[in-house]
Every structure is written in C-alpha cells, then in structure tokens.
Amino acid sequence: MRVQVKIPEVGESIKEGTLIEWHVADGASVASGDALFELETDKVTLTVQAEAAGRLAITVPAGSRVAVGDLVGTLDGEAAPVAAPAAVAEAAPRPAEVPPISAPAGFPQAAAKLADLDGLRPSVRRLVEEHALDPGALAATGPGGLVTKDDVLAHLARPAAANRAEGTAPAPVPTPAPAPAATPPAPPAEAGERPVTRTRMTTLRQRIAERLVLAQSTAAMLTTFNELDMSGVMALRDALKDDFEKKHGVKLGFMSFFVKAAVDALKRFPVVNARIEGDEIVQPSYYDVGVAVSTDAGLVVPILRDADRRSFADIEKEIAALARKARDRKLALADLSGGTFSITNGGIYGSLMSTPILNPPQSGILGMHGIKKRPVVVDDQIVIRPMMYVALSYDHRLVDGRDAVSFLKRIVECVERPERLLLDA
C-alpha cells in the first residue's frame, strides 16, 4: 500500500513553511513513527514523523517552500527490501571454474567508510564528508550509538592535538577544483564595484518583518518613558538568591519582579490589558504575559500563562523552560498563541533606551533596559544609584496618555519597593 506524505496542519494561522531538511534518504526504508523531515513555519519548527512503514520516495527537495496539504513524498509499504549481498551470493549458482577476482587496492577501506556514512543522517553525513572525518573515530551519543551533528561539531571544536592523540588525522585542506576549460574567465570588476551576497529570509524572519510593519501601520503607537532606582530590588535579590536557588533549583532573576509588577499595574489599569477587535474592545479577565526571547532564528515571544497566579519560583522556572524551548526550536504553537501584554529586555544586550514595538493585537509592551550607575538627587543629596530607564509602548487608540503614564509609574513604584510584590500590597 502506498501512503502519501503531506505537509500537516499545525495551526489555524499557519498556511505555509519551509521543508528545511529530510532526515531519511530518498529510497530508504522507514518504520512508523520515524522522523521524516523538519518543517519550519513562521512560528514553530517541528519534526514530522512517518505515519506508516515503507520505502520513502521524495518528491520535494529540502529547502523548498511548501503549503499545508502539499504532497512531498510517498511511502511504499509493498516495496520488497533489497537483498543483502551475502544472500544474493548464496542464492545464485556459482560456476565451478570462475577464477577468483581480487578487490582493487583500498576497496575494503572505502567500502567500510561508505557503510559507516550510510548510517548517518544527511546533515551529519555532509559535515563528515566536508571535513574528511573518519566516522568510526567520532564519539557517538545518539540513540543506538548513532553519531549526531553535535558529536561532529564537538569533535571539530576540540584541539587538533587531542584528535591526533586518538589517532584521528587532521582534516586536509580541500583544494578548489579547477574551472572547466570551456568557461570563459569572468570580466574584471569595474572600479568601485564590490561583491554582495543574497540570502533568502527564513520564514520566521519574514513573519517578524510583517508583524513589525503591521504594528506600526494599524496601531496609533506611542511610547512613554520613566526611570527607576534598582537599589531595593538588587538588595532584596542579593539577600534571597542563595536560599531561593537551593529551595527551588532556579536562580532568582529580575524578570520575575517585573512580571509581578506588570500584573499589579495591569490590575489597576486594565485598559492596557485590553485589545481592539474591529469596533469592539476585548477585555480579558486573565493575565497572559509574553516574555521576548532572542534566538538564532529571530525574536519570539512565548507566553507565561496566568501570571497573576504564579509565585516568583513558578515564574522563573517557566521563563527558563520557555527560553530553552525557544533556543532549541521546540516551541509549540500553543506556547506562542494569545498573550495580553508583553515584556522585552534590551538591557541584556547593553541597550540604554529604546521604543519597543507592540506585539499585535496587544495594546501594551514594557521595555526594560540596562542598569547604569548614575548620580541622582535623593533627599536633596546627590548620590550614586543603579538606575534603569523603562519604556511603555501603547496603542493610543485605546489607551489614553494618563493611563499609560500612570501604568508605568506604578511599575516604578513596585520595583523600587519590591516588598510590596512579596506581600501583594
């Protein structure tokens, strides 16, 4: 029986994506549940598994743009397995007087190497061949003794002396192949001409670009600023962090304080937690806070559900778990859907001040920034304090300036007196 391999539905808002890699070679046999290919969409990257056993016939190559429902291959469950060489030799009649033929020099070594490579995934095989590595010399940490891409990268990252000590010769420097004689030489570049490269945007980056433009073209976006003294929260964090980590197994960071402060401010100024849909104002009774996470593929905003019901430890654990999933590209669509308010922290990259862009259809986003020691006036005295600029971008169609400024001022009050957050006062 032949089974079609199609692009599955992964969410109502996702219609297309990129087939970034096949995990199985064309013509190879797979079992039901085996990983077939990686699909990258504008929100998540997921592994699609085989629905049945059979021999795979690939019809759409890796790197192709695909839509939900597209046919990308077939699984032939009735294809007979290829007989092993030994079995063929035993079944076929052997002439009595055929003289033995010796294998060419180096054939056993080449055959063994090819056999090793056949057991590797395509992406791993490319790395092994590119660096002329011996698969047998690589430490395999994958299931069933399988060599993974991380194994190859770890091997390459080790000093050359360590690899030589294990008997692995350094990879030879590849020599570029000569250009075909029939190809005429390229004309010399004109004065002032400089080369450029063109790389196709990933699906996620395209989606980020679309949403940023959408936010600025559909909302009356405005940003208000304030500054806060981080002395209190830093002192409280230093006093509690060791016991907190021992008890909960996670570090106490600043983000949990800001999430708690945001929830407090959202309860006092619920319009910032609302959104516009058509000619209606939608006011949630819950507080799902998105926390921006930067990954190699781009910025994503996983959602911390019911933030008002979570303790400091719960918030820190959930943020850490979502950040790991984001960087490992294992976020599910449910991790990114919804959200009533967002927080982004440019301070971890050294930003002193910025105007964060709304995450549609939300009406507010809080921007945190770097902590810098600055001279400030306290009780008519000039003192040095660790200060942070904070920003609130908001949709002025829904949120008035008075509510936005008051909201941000409440954030400042909560963080400057963090004992309020601990006591919910």
Determine the Cα–Cα distance for residues 360 and 199; give it in Å rounded to an integer: 28
Choose the catalytic residue: 134, 314, 396, 403. Answer: 396
In the residue annotation, 396 being an active-site residue is answered as yes
The CA distance from 369 to 391, in Å, is 9
Task: From 393, 412, 2, select the one nearest 220 (Cα to Cα).
Answer: 393
Q: Which positions ≥6 away from 79 have C-beta within 8 Å?
A: 29, 54, 55
Exactly one of 328, 400, 403, 424 is catalytic; which is it? 400
Place of tokens 């420097």: 173
Contact 342, 359 (CB under 8 A): yes
70 is catalytic: no
Residue numbers annotated as active site: 396, 400
